[in-house]
Chains A and B, each alone.
Chain A
Amino acid sequence: MTAPTIKLPAPLFARLSPHPFLLRNLTATAAAADPARPPAARTNGRGTNETRPLHAKASSLSHAHGSSLVRLGDTTVLCGVRAELLPVERIPLFRPVDRVGDGERGGGDGGDGGDGAGEGGRALLGRGELRDYDLLVPNIELATGSAPQFLPGVPPTALAQTLSTRVYSLLHSTGLVGVEDLRVWSKPGSGEGGDTEMEGAGEAQEVQEGVEEEDRVVAYWVLYIDLLFVSFDGNPFDAAWAAVVAALRNTSLPVARWDPEREMVVCSRTEKRQLNVRGLPVACTAAVFEEKELGEVGTGVVEGRHWLLLDPDRLEETLCREAITMVVDCSDGETRIKSIEKQGGTTIGRELIRGFAVIAEKRWKEVQGAMK
Chain B
Amino acid sequence: MPREAEPSLNEKQFVTQALQENLRLDGRQLDQYRPLEISFGDQYGVADVTLGKTRVLAKATAEVTVPYVDRPLDGIFTIATELSPMTSPAFEVNRPTETEVLLSRLLEKTVRRSGALDTESLCLVAGQKCWSVRVDVHVVSHDGGLTDAACVAVVGALRHFRKPDTSMEAGRLTVYTPAEREPVPLSWLHSPLCVTWSFFGDDGETAVLDATWLEEQVRVASCTVSLNKHGEICQIAKLGGTPVDAVALLQCTSVALVKVKEFSDLLDRRLAEDLKRRDKGGFMAELRAENDR
A residues with CB within 8 A of B: 89-90, 92-96, 121
Contact = CB atoms under 8 A, between A and B. Distances in A.
Interface string B21-34: 00000000000000
17 contacts: A89-B128, A90-B66, A92-B63, A92-B64, A92-B65, A92-B66, A92-B129, A92-B175, A93-B64, A93-B175, A94-B173, A95-B174, A95-B175, A96-B172, A121-B177, A121-B179, A121-B180
Contacts of A90: 66
Per DSSP, are chain B's interface residues mostly helix, strand or loop, or mixed?
strand
Main secondary structure of the interface of A (DSSP, over half): loop
The 3 tightest CB contacts between A and B, nearest first, are: A92-B64, A93-B175, A93-B64
Q: How large is the interface on B (under 10, 10 to 19, 20 to 34, 35 or more residues)?
A: 10 to 19
Contacts of A89: 128
A128 to B, nearest CB: 11
Nearest to A90: B66
A94 B174 CA distance: 7
Nearest to B94: A155
B245 to A, nearest CB: 50
Given A92-B129, A92-B175, A93-B64, 11 more contacts: A89-B128, A90-B66, A92-B63, A92-B66, A94-B173, A95-B174, A95-B175, A96-B172, A121-B177, A121-B179, A121-B180
Nearest to B128: A89
Nearest to A89: B128
A144 to B, nearest CB: 22
A89 B66 CA distance: 11
Nearest to A88: B172
Nearest to B125: A89
Contacts of A95: 174-175
A94 to B, nearest CB: 8
Contacts of B66: 90, 92
B32 to A, nearest CB: 47
A86 to B, nearest CB: 13
Contacts of B177: 121
A96 B167 CA distance: 14
B176 to A, nearest CB: 9
A78 B151 CA distance: 50
A276 B15 CA distance: 73
A124 B271 CA distance: 34
A96 B65 CA distance: 18
A96 B174 CA distance: 9
Contacts of A96: 172
Contacts of B180: 121
Contacts of B172: 96
A89 B65 CA distance: 12
Contacts of B174: 95
Nearest to A125: B177
Contacts of A94: 173
A96 B170 CA distance: 13
A62 B64 CA distance: 37
A92 B63 CA distance: 9
Contacts of B64: 92-93
Nearest to A120: B179
A93 B129 CA distance: 10
B217 to A, nearest CB: 34
Nearest to A216: B172
Contacts of B129: 92
A94 B129 CA distance: 11
A96 B175 CA distance: 11
Contacts of B63: 92
Max chain B CB contacts within 10 Å: which of A92, A94, A96, A121? A92
A89 B172 CA distance: 9
Nearest to A91: B64
Contacts of B173: 94
Interface in B150-179: 172-175, 177, 179
B175 to A, nearest CB: 6
Interface in B51-69: 63-66
